[in-house]
A and B are shown apart, each in its own frame.
Chain A
């Protein structure tokens, strides 16, 4: 990796050696060496240009109110301060809402959440800027804020209208069902906690434009918003993203405000400006995963067969729409998970609160929907006395079924996947062992759960399902590929490079992916919705095929062979067949093409076929296909304290024909642990005034190495995608996060054991030791009630 070795001359052994690192090869991350040596450059690591200023954000001191006075003179005169701006100083557009209006670049006079960005300071150093913001004299006419879902549901405040999806007649189905269960679940949100906090570096250009180095999943949107805020054309703004130190959805829309403010300060001061949020500011200023409160009634027969369900999902959106419409939609799309509800009515509510505007986070509402489906399966199992896995197996979708939004179920092999996992992880034997353990131990109880994942792949906003790529081949045979996707650690650059290596049958070392740049591939979609390799892999492949066609045409013309007799094999271009075949190294043939005046640069474009969704009728095929998987987790809880350990997790996951197995397994393991964190240790808390109380790594706890199950088995389910995705692979970014649900179900199973599974213990999330203890105590109260009954 460190040294580029030019193509060697062709030789017998070189001709025989297959190209390295193509599709399906377990290669290392393209930046692995830079990562481990610290050479990998993130935005804050870029050597600063002379006279670079550092910006910091002044924030709203209340959750709701009207500004009556904002005296910034002490800020202006503080040591090192060069400039201070409020919304009144913005040169052009001031609302930077990504889809709908509602996100002012700086607040005022109305303040809409505690910590909302109110003004920005540029100073000579980061510390001077941070010290200065504290000096502002802010007076506010404070109003009573809406802080909770409960309050917003009661008051009817919404950021977007309610939406419904209907299948059959749920009301009638429930009325006729022999059994119904009504329950609720509150899922708290989740902080992204990407290790690299938000950062942008704005450098003015000599033509009145701006170059932005940013840590963003959506460079094209940053470009558009910076142009709008500055009041200049988009072609004056270039946005570059080489890599992010983690994204997870938190840099889809949330990176833009800081880029815009840095740009404004850079224009005003004619100096480069860096705006980096430190951890506490990042946690306060940027949106998180939505809280959801879900209420449902589910009907089923005595054998645990589903009859119908009525489900109300309410998402806590914060003060503005941001992406919440699509996020609550995705929660609604996933509430069925893998199960066929003969009748279903789903209501999705987008509640408006005086809190930070919640945003994309790996799964994009899907996890909050899916966990409800899984909670129902467990509830039904305990109501009927069946094993929860049997209830799940009984209710799985079959090919030919339709979802509650009308998408037909095709190529659905989850039953085979589940039963394979069930066998491999010895579910039944362990269920038996756990029952024995629980009877014997005085205060430790174990729980087990096997839960599937069925996650829809595609942006549900149709036009986002497109991508572009640019490929340049140089005369030494080395290839540069650029595409609209961004690298946030997920290995997208590596996968796309593998696609290119594979198309030309050259070693992966000859392919270099370069920083995402809006001046190379324009009008790109965010790297989100797990779509990165599906979209950009296909676009890169299209670009490769264009150049390959030109090279084939050249061979046909130059050597007088048939097109079918030109092959790309083992780092060579082979012209002709049999004994007369001529072998050129790829570099030699590229040199020939150059000399014959053949263009060695091409763009590629891709749009996802088949998908559509009519929101008016709430029906269509929003997803090109579904990513599938299942996981089984075993936990042990301490019924005296609620403390617990995850003893073992087994995951079987379907990535189609894997593009890059090591990278896919990394996504699955990492996604699972992040999902487990969401449902266990990671707890966002706000104080009574609406101020984020868990605004640091000291109070917000993502998993450490110790929290990972001591046994964690991850395997790929080996079956090519039936759809024509890139080499029939499947997307892998988000779906594995939902394997964390098996941990939550297992915790609830362990608590329920205390009441001999007779009740469904309440276990809102995150299931901290405190909530697990409360679930245990609910079971103990049930037992005491039984004892009291027997006595009376």
Chain B
């Protein structure tokens, strides 16, 4: 039984297939055709909806791609669509989009409206004066997962800047009004399946104890964290998974902790969850996180999922490798910790055994003498996948490199450490020659492939050149003459 609130109305449905996405349900079962399918892969944002969760009295609003999120994700939550916020006078996001000519063909528009309405609502939640125009950074981040093929975005960005000009609309009021309806947050959340069909069942445990008990019973179950990659198996390959355990509601796996100069990030932290904290603690990592997927993907996708997925082109693994991270694993074999560099064993293969899950990721915070460079190279700035992910952490004392960790994505079947290059850096003075010389060892660490994103030779060249960029950044222009010549 799934229970959710759609545009103010509580709906309970015990017949939803576990493989059913939010988009599929809304369009085919609810005739909610204001939510559009553009790509069914979480890449275009036409299906963007605003969700609200009310956990322990905390009300938060966020966007997701309805096309790849399972209906289970909606359980006990609130969903708003463009139609649902269209009471007169229209929502400021809607009226501004009209007044600034933000729609042409209109197909991406409901999704764009929901991204803007969520930006608006989040600012309200944060107590920001709506008369203050949102920064371009915040607007682009809100729109990073919404493709528009007609307008060139300029009028949409203008609309975003002017939402504060209209009469205030607070969607929290709609949630509060709806929340009055009595409900038991534990309905369907236990060791019983939340959903089942002839070919599939889905569980949504609330505690680690429940999760481990389920893993003992179903060790080969598909673990589902954010599902931003797994969702594609359903929508692109039309696969059915016999048993799914949704991790999203397991308590205690979303904590962000700092102790003894160590940072611990719960495996279920979404990228959006960690952005704020990282901005002050590890700014380069925060910047990288902001270039992963889109706002919608960052709201769903989790750090643990990115690591367990073990894609050679995932963005977080190289960053965590360079930071020397460890992963804490739990499950039917008990709690243990391993270094991330030992975690990846082959293409999409890891040390994680059936019946295990990642609990958290732990790494030492960079110190005064440490320099961290995290550079993602892709065809497009936002919402793209790396051709090369470059992650370098250097410890420098007296102009000498005393420690170096270089990790790369997109260069091999797994995220890798470039040990030869590292050895070429360690003990050497900080100058361009050091980095040039170390870069010449890169071929000994990897032999990348050519694919749709880049050629092998480009990947190697960029790997070497980014070492030079690091040198140039470190020396702050004192080496300009050397390079220019």
**Known contacts A443-B469, A669-B152, A673-B152: does B90 contact A37 (CB below 8 Å)?**
yes
Q: Bin the interface of chain B by size.
A: 35 or more
Is A704 located at the chain interface by the 8 A CB criterion?
yes
Bound: A455/B105 CA distance, A? 24
A42 close to B107 (CB less than 8 A): yes
Bound: A210/B93 CA distance, A? 41
Measured CB to CB, the closest approach of chain B to A298, in angstroms, equals: 31
Pick the residue among A33, A134, A244 that contacts B105 (CB under 8 A): A244
Contact bitstring B157-169, A, C-beta under 8 A = 1, else 0: 1000000000000
B44 close to A195 (CB less than 8 A): yes
Is B275 located at the chain interface by the 8 A CB criterion?
no
A36 close to B103 (CB less than 8 A): yes
B36 close to A245 (CB less than 8 A): yes
Bound: A42/B454 CA distance, A? 37
Bound: A34/B94 CA distance, A? 10
Measured CB to CB, the closest approach of chain B to A442, in angstroms, equals: 4
**Known contacts A35-B109, A696-B236: does B46 contact A195 (CB below 8 Å)?**
yes
Q: Which of A350-358, A496-504, A707-715 contacts B (4 or more CB under 8 A)?
A: A707-715
**Known contacts A28-B98, A45-B33, A278-B40: does B466 contact A640 (CB below 8 Å)?**
yes
Bound: A774/B472 CA distance, A? 21
B107 close to A196 (CB less than 8 A): yes
Pick the residue among A33, A38, A640 that contacts B34 (CB under 8 A): A38
Pick the residue among A197, A672, A777 that contacts B152 (CB under 8 A): A672
Is A175 located at the chain interface by the 8 A CB criterion?
no
Q: Which of B432-474 contact A (CB under 8 A)?
A: 451-455, 458, 461-462, 465-466, 468-469, 472
Is A83 located at the chain interface by the 8 A CB criterion?
no
**Known contacts A443-B472, A705-B153: does B105 contact A662 (CB below 8 Å)?**
no
Q: Which of A672-708 contact B (CB under 8 A)?
A: 672-674, 681, 683, 685, 693-694, 696-699, 701-708
Q: Which of B80-88, B200-208, B278-286, B420-428 contacts A (4 or more CB under 8 A)?
A: B80-88
B483 close to A705 (CB less than 8 A): no
Q: Which of B70-78, B357-365, B375-383 contacts A (4 or more CB under 8 A)?
A: B375-383
Q: Which of B124-132, B137-145, B216-224, B342-350 contacts A (4 or more CB under 8 A)?
A: B137-145
B149 close to A193 (CB less than 8 A): yes
Which of B82, B107, B148, B465 is packed against the most chain A CB atoms within 10 Å?
Answer: B107
**Known contacts A246-B149, A708-B153: does B382 contact A38 (CB below 8 Å)?**
no
Is B303 located at the chain interface by the 8 A CB criterion?
no
Is A243 located at the chain interface by the 8 A CB criterion?
yes
B104 close to A29 (CB less than 8 A): yes
Q: Which of A234-252 contact B (CB under 8 A)?
A: 243-248
Pick the residue among A641, A693, A699, A704 that contacts B382 (CB under 8 A): A704
Tell me which residues across on chain A come within 8 A of B238, comparing CB atoms: 127, 130-131, 134
Is B41 located at the chain interface by the 8 A CB criterion?
yes
B82 close to A674 (CB less than 8 A): no
A670 close to B151 (CB less than 8 A): yes
Which of B41, B44, B101, B155 is packed against the most chain A CB atoms within 10 Å?
Answer: B101
Tell me which residues across on chain B come within 8 A of A769, comparing CB atoms: 377-379, 387
Is B147 located at the chain interface by the 8 A CB criterion?
yes
Is A770 located at the chain interface by the 8 A CB criterion?
yes
Bound: A415/B137 CA distance, A? 38
A705 close to B98 (CB less than 8 A): no
Contact bitstring A22-35, B, C-beta under 8 A = 1, else 0: 00000011011111
Which of B31, B88, B110, B139 is packed against the most chain A CB atoms within 10 Å?
Answer: B110
CB-nearest residue of chain B to A196 = B107
Bound: A708/B107 CA distance, A? 20
Is B12 located at the chain interface by the 8 A CB criterion?
no
Bound: A714/B458 CA distance, A? 36
A32 close to B103 (CB less than 8 A): yes
A488 close to B465 (CB less than 8 A): no
Is B484 located at the chain interface by the 8 A CB criterion?
yes
Is A328 located at the chain interface by the 8 A CB criterion?
no
Is B154 located at the chain interface by the 8 A CB criterion?
yes
Is B97 located at the chain interface by the 8 A CB criterion?
yes
Bound: A706/B34 CA distance, A? 26
How many residues on A have C-beta within 8 angstroms of the other chain's C-beta atoms? 86
CB-nearest residue of chain B to A45 = B33
Which of B94, B105, B107, B477 is packed against the most chain A CB atoms within 10 Å?
Answer: B105
Bound: A21/B378 CA distance, A? 45
Is A768 located at the chain interface by the 8 A CB criterion?
yes
Is A279 located at the chain interface by the 8 A CB criterion?
yes
**Known contacts A38-B81, A669-B152, A698-B385: does B98 contact A243 (CB below 8 Å)?**
no
Is B35 located at the chain interface by the 8 A CB criterion?
yes
B81 close to A670 (CB less than 8 A): no
A279 close to B82 (CB less than 8 A): no
A701 close to B236 (CB less than 8 A): no
**Known contacts A672-B152, A701-B380, A702-B149: does B41 contact A279 (CB below 8 Å)?**
yes
Tell me which residues across on chain A come within 8 A of B151, comparing CB atoms: 666, 669-670, 673
B377 close to A489 (CB less than 8 A): no
Tell me which residues across on chain B come within 8 A of A193, comparing CB atoms: 147, 149
- The 9 closest A-B CB pairs, nearest first, are A38-B34, A489-B105, A245-B107, A35-B106, A697-B43, A673-B152, A489-B104, A38-B82, A45-B33
A-B contact pairs, 6 of them (CB 8 A): A35-B110, A40-B109, A196-B38, A196-B107, A278-B40, A697-B147
Residue positions of B touching A, CB distance < 8 A: 24, 27-28, 31, 33-41, 43-44, 46, 81-83, 86, 88, 90, 93-95, 97-99, 101-110, 113, 136, 139-140, 143-144, 146-157, 236, 238, 375, 377-385, 387, 451-455, 458, 461-462, 465-466, 468-469, 472, 477, 479-480, 483-484
Residue positions of A touching B, CB distance < 8 A: 2, 28-29, 31-42, 44-45, 47, 125, 127, 130-131, 134, 192-197, 243-248, 278-280, 440, 442-443, 488-491, 638, 640-643, 662-663, 665-666, 669-674, 681, 683, 685, 693-694, 696-699, 701-708, 710, 712, 714, 768-770, 773-774, 777
- Contacts A246-B150, A704-B382, A774-B458 known; list 6 others, CB within 8 Å: A38-B33, A243-B106, A443-B472, A641-B469, A669-B154, A670-B149
